[in-house]
Amino acid sequence: MATAPKSLAALDAAVSECRACPRLVRWREQVARTKRAAYAGEQYWGRPVPGFGPADASLALVGLAPAAHGGNRTGRMFTGDRSGDVLFQALYDVGLASQPTAVHRDDGLTLRGTRVTAPVHCAPPDNKPTPAERDTCRPWLARELELLRPTLRAVVVLGGFGWQALLPVLAEAGWEVPRPRPRFGHGAHVRLEGPSELHLLGCYHVSQQNTFTGRLTPAMVREVLARGASLAGLD
Ligand code: SF4
């Protein structure tokens, strides 16, 4: 399913139908049925959440997986949860998002030259996909990056999980990933040679665990995004 789509629009439609991980399918659909009390009147998306952003993006943001009551509810990455509040405010502040808030997939938000995606497209229990689920979902990310390759110049990776998941995908896609593999860290910057020069930037994940404790501040997110935008030619 993941290798067939010839465009990002087709890929987004195809991934939304994926049922390859039995545990995640059960979980995402159960959450969509039981709902959180605050959203009891809403129709949850309850399916794999596709990437979001233009097909000619030069900057990609790679996170972890949709949140049970965020992306799994609204149908768009980082939309409708606290992590997204931080991320989209920062994207807006550096000129990459048309508005500072993201509440639903039909709220009119657009991104400039930026695509937001994840190595796992279904909400996992406790935000923890298994290694097998990460590997099962890998072809979707691989095809997404392949379709973006003509324009892609920089990737901001939000958190160590995304970093570890992304490196093999980039290596398979032809970029020269150094050995030993570069380590994740906030502010890490690796330049990869390959089909085109690609800058890889590390940023702590915008999870509440990081933002509520002050480990990651809005200024730190803005700084990495602005650097990614500059390297991607979007400043
Ligand atoms: S996590 Fe990925 S591979 Fe697994 S069911 Fe969801 S979309 Fe399919």
In this predicted model, what pLDDT tens digit does every residue of 147-184 receive, in sequence order? 999 999 999 999 999 999 999 999 988 899 999 999 99
Q: How many whole angstroms separate alpha carbon 210 and alpha carbon 222?
A: 15
pLDDT of residue 235: 82
Helix/strand/coil for 33 = helix
Q: How many Å lie between the centroid of ligand 1 and the Cα of residue 42?
A: 23
Provide the pLDDT confidence category of residue 231 given band limits of 50, 70 and 90: very high
Mutating to test ligand 1, I would choose from 3, 12, 15, 77 the residue with most ligand atoms within 8 A of its C-beta, which is 15
138 residue type, one letter: R
Q: What is the pLDDT of residues 80-139, one digit of tens each?
A: 999 999 999 999 999 999 999 999 999 999 999 999 999 999 999 999 999 999 999 999
**Contact (CB, 8 A) for 173 and 194:** yes
- Looking at domain 8-231, its CATH class is alpha beta
102 residue type, one letter: A
pLDDT of residue 4: 82
> Per-residue pLDDT averaged across 67-76, rounded?
97
Q: What is the pLDDT of residues 199-228, one digit of tens each?
A: 999 999 999 999 999 999 999 999 999 999
pLDDT above 90 for 32: yes
- Name all residues whose Cβ lies below 6 A of ligand 1: 15, 18-21, 24-25, 48, 120-122, 133, 136-137, 140
**Contact (CB, 8 A) for 65 and 129:** yes
Q: How many Å lie between the centroid of ligand 1 and the Cα of residue 21?
A: 6
Q: Which atom of ligand 1 is nearest to the CA of 120?
A: 1
Q: Which atom of ligand 1 is nearest to the CA of 19?
A: 5
Burial of 179 (0-12, 13-18, 19+ CB in 10 A): exposed
Q: Where are the alpha helices (DSSP H) in the chain?
A: 8-15, 22-34, 71-74, 82-93, 131-148, 160-172, 208-211, 218-231
pLDDT above 80 for 3: no
Nearest protein Cα to ligand 1, atom 3: 137
pLDDT of residue 80: 96
pLDDT of residue 195: 85
Q: Which atom of ligand 1 is nearest to the CA of 140?
A: 2
Structure tokens at 12: 């987004």
Strand order in the sheet with 59-62: 114-117, 59-62, 154-158, 198-203, 189-192
Mutating to test ligand 1, I would choose from 24, 64, 77 the residue with most ligand atoms within 8 A of its C-beta, which is 24
pTM of the model: 0.96
pLDDT of residue 172: 87
**Contact (CB, 8 A) for 85 and 101:** yes
Domain limits, the chain: 8-231
